[in-house]
Amino acid sequence: MKKVKQQQKEMTILTGVSLITCMIPKGKADKVVRAALNAGAQGASVHFSRGAGVRERLGLLSITVEAEKEVIQIIVSKEQQEEIFSVMFHAGNLDMPGMGIIFSTHLEKAATYIPSDVLNKIEEDRLLKGEGSE
C-alpha cells in the first residue's frame, strides 16, 4: 500500500490484492456473500448477467436457453484470498454440475477511499509483522 499525491488530493494505492469472481445461478448469491463476509471479506458487489452453456441446450434442435446468473466480485488481500475463495466455493456448491464457476485475478493495483483509522491499523499491523512501509 502506498500513498500518492496528485493535484492536492491523496490517493491510497492498494497492492497485494486479488479480485475473486464467482458466477452462480440466480438466487444463490446471498448465501455465498454471507459466507465470504463471515470469513473476513470487507464487502461484495453483486450484479446480474445472462449466459448460456452446455447444460442449457435443450431438445433435438439444440435450442439454447439463456440462463440468468448472479456475478459476485470481492477484492481481498493476498492473506485472505485462499480462505475466502474456498469458503465461497463450498457455500455455492460449485463442486456440483451446473452450479457455476469461481476464479481469482491478481490486481496490479486498486484505489478507493479508506478511512484514516483503517489505514493506521493496517500500518500498525505491518510494522508489528516487520514488513515496514512501502
| 78-121 residue pLDDT tens | 999 999 999 999 999 999 988 999 999 999 999 988 888 877 87
Domain that holds residue 97: 2-129
Inside any domain, residue 111: yes
Inside any domain, residue 122: yes
Q: Are strands 57-58 and 17-25 parallel, antiparallel or unpaired?
A: unpaired
Q: Is 36 helix (H, G, I), strand (E, B) or coil?
A: helix
Distance CA 62, CA 121 (A): 56
pLDDT 10s digits, 26-66: 999 999 999 999 999 999 999 999 876 655 555 556 666 56
Inside any domain, residue 94: yes
CA nearest to 74, candidates 110, 36, 122, 38: 36
Inside any domain, residue 53: yes
Q: What pTM was estimated for this model as a whole?
A: 0.76
- Which CATH number goes with the domain that contains 6? 3.30.70.120
Distance CA 79, CA 101 (A): 22
Q: How many independent structural domains does the chain possess? A: 1
Question: Torsions phi, psi of 123, nearest 5?
Answer: -65, -40
Inside any domain, residue 134: no
